[in-house]
Structure 1
Amino acid sequence: MAGFNIFILCAALATIAQGSNCPSGPAEVDTFSGGFDYTYDWPIHYQPLDTQRQSLCQAYMDVSSSEDNRDQKVVMMLHGKNFCSQTWNATAKVMLDQGYRVILPDQIGFCKSDKPDHYQFSLHHLALNTKTILDNLGIKRLTLIGHSMGGMLSARFALMYPEMVDRLVMVDPIGLEDWKAKGVPYLPVDDIYRQEVASNYTSVSSYENATYYVNHWEPEYDVWVKMLLKVYDGPLGKAYAYNQALVTDMVYTQPIVYELRLLGDIPNSLLIVGDKDNTAIGKQWSPPDVQALLGHYDVLGPEAAKTIGSNCTLIHYPDLGHAPQISAPEIFHKNLTDWLNRTD
């Protein structure tokens, strides 16, 4: 029995020590960094998470144009699967100019956050982790913006915590269709991992060019490809690739299409899509007849807005793809701020 007690004590001390690895305050050059040597525009904070029998650190930026941010409007922006919170930097600066306090988290498994060796990824759990940051900051109400996978996550967050969400903005969210129901075959996590770990400049830029930018590549898009490769090629690159395989499995199995109607209870929602977006999980490993059915955002966008209901505004761009905030920032930011100002 004494030996058992010593074992429990040692395990508890190890857990405390691991949790203490999270820096306690902001740092211009953080020493943790999640194995990701990349400079963000603003200091990084870390939220300790006791989750799934682990002590993990979730990175986020908390940016304000005012020294006293207690009464400021708050916006939180959620990144997509092939992105980090830093990808929102241009939109964040626009929101700061609009008088917002801006919260920018990196999800667990991504970028400057911890990349655990084992984790059951679910939209529900990522939403819970994200809420923990807000609870720690004392934030009760906010505008929520999510892109791609972050659009899925923002929808899930709004369904779980509707009392916190004043306005919901989804930018080219994935999950507007059920890929498995349309015939996309299941690919084991181990097979997805082998694809992820082989990622390189050609594979990433080719995918983004065809999906995000509709084959209109600009040199400035390279910064986001190189940012992503910094994670894949970093000291935790294999852990990141495995986490991304688990995330792909999560997204494939948890589409939001069946719950869109429930978002009608959010007072104000905005759906922004590029009509030429063709994002679809599993499209690359599906047979041609299934591929032809997938990723038609010119149809998925209007269908989703209609399902959400009269509280949802749809803005669509006929000539844009999956990332309008990057490929057409001026019109995107004008449309976004105009809508936010109308719904204040």
Structure 2
Amino acid sequence: MPSFLLFLWLSLLLAATIAPAQTAPLNATLDGYEYPFSVRYLPLKLEGQALRMAYMDEPSTARPNGRTVVLLHGKNFFGAYWHETIKTLSAVGFRVVVPDQIGFGKSDKADIHYSFHQRARNTRQLLDTLGVKKAVIVGHSMGGMLATRFALLYPEATEKLVLENPIGLEDYRVGVPFQTVDQAEATELKSTEASIRKYHATYYPNGYPAAHDQWLLPLAAQTHSPDFPKVARANALTFDIIHQQPVSYEFSRITVPTLLIIGQDDRTVVGKGLIKDPKILAQMGQYPALGRNAAAQIKGAKLVEIPNVGHIPHLEAPAQFYKSLLGFLG
């Protein structure tokens, strides 16, 4: 084969290898998209609606230690992005339960009144159904707000609490202008792969990794589905509870052993695009200070600060994240 043809063939092969996979439209419950582990469903009855809450329940792949870890996802994610965390925990003896909250992932997208109290109760019902009396509760981003609420409502069921770059370390009502659910929904309906990619890129201060596409493309694929209005509505309702149901004033009430893992370059502010005053914007989302403030309020809390890392340590700096997590779990 002539050298220039060989070069062209290799170039095309490389491009095909690194180009992001094209994803067909996905409906509201991600039917046709495979999670890394088998998915089961918990039936729920909320506000007169029969709903299904999806979850993964993975046993230990090593000698079981009799303990369970619950992993709670963020607003712009679904349970599958905990893939490597599940493998890491199960490999050292833990059972790992990973729910998709109602409104996310493979769970139903209900148009109901969402609240962190209700989501905590749903999670407790899941654990009761699975026969889990006590668990380590790990929450990332929005999952951190939910994990906090769970620990406050059910301290007897919370062995330990782990907050990974949680949102809600500050009261967004103070600096983020109010918008109605309908306004938030209108914004969500305009979502495209490009807009989702632009937002997700803010999670990575050191550059967006191509590997993250596996968690972004399913969300983008939903924007092409006739079901997308259901997804947009659920996202808008969730945006509303993040703003209207703060947990930042209740950290001092937490009574369980707590670990905060904070990527120091995170500057996430939910509703950042609504803030027009640059002075207010500069004051918000300062995770180094927010993490220290939260840790100071929680009696006996341990704080791990990871430098040069953004909003998702378990994806951006997994070795440091797992070392901190496993060290805390003992």
Contact 2:56 2:98 in 1 (8 A): yes
Contact 1:209 1:215 in 2 (8 A): no
Using the alignment, how far apart are the partners of 2:60 and 2:221 within structure 1? 30
Aligned partner of 2:20 in structure 1 is none
Larger RCO of the pair (alpha carbons < 8 Å, separation 6+): 2
Q: How many Å apart are 1:305 and its aligned residue?
A: 0.3
Letter in 2 for 1:50: K
Aligned partner of 1:13 in structure 2 is none
Matched, 1:46 2:41: yes
Using the alignment, how far apart are the partners of 1:68 and 1:336 within structure 2? 19
Using the alignment, how far apart are the partners of 2:96 and 2:230 within structure 1? 29
Q: Give per-residue Cα distances to partners, 1:129-166, cap 9 Å, x unaligned.
A: 11111111111011110100001000000100000011
Q: How many Å apart are 1:54 and its aligned residue?
A: 0.8
Which of 178, 181, 187 is the equivalent residue of 1:189?
181
Using the alignment, how far apart are the partners of 1:299 and 1:332 within structure 2? 19
Q: Give per-residue Cα distances to partners, 1:284-304, cap 9 Å, x unaligned.
A: 111123212210001100010
Matched, 1:167 2:160: yes
Contact 2:68 2:136 in 1 (8 A): yes
Q: 1:91 to 1:103 in 2, by over 3 A?
A: same
Aligned partner of 1:75 in structure 2 is 69
Unaligned regions of 5+ residues in structure 2, if any? 1-26
Matched, 1:37 2:27: no
Q: Give per-residue Cα distances to partners, 1:67-122, cap 9 Å, x unaligned.
A: 997x7210110000001000101101000111011100000011100112x21010
- TM-score normalised over the length of structure 2: 0.88
Using the alignment, how far apart are the partners of 1:76 and 1:234 within structure 2? 31
Matched, 1:199 2:194: no
Which of 62, 72, 78 is the equivalent residue of 2:57?
62
Which of 265, 287, 310 is the equivalent residue of 1:276?
265
Q: 1:194 to 1:215 in 2, by over 3 A?
A: farther
Instruction: Kindly tell me the number of residue pairs found equivalent between the two proteins.
Output: 303
Secondary structure of the equivalent of 1:257?
coil
Using the alignment, how far apart are the partners of 2:152 and 2:329 within structure 1? 20
Q: How many Å apart are 1:325 and its aligned residue?
A: 0.6
Aligned partner of 2:13 in structure 1 is none
Q: Percent identity?
A: 40
Unaligned regions of 5+ residues in structure 1, if any? 1-31
Q: How many Å apart are 1:33 and its aligned residue?
A: 8.0
Contact 2:135 2:159 in 1 (8 A): yes
Secondary structure of the equivalent of 2:250?
helix
CA RMSD of aligned residues (A): 1.7
Matched, 1:228 2:219: yes
Using the alignment, how far apart are the partners of 1:207 and 1:33 within structure 2? 21
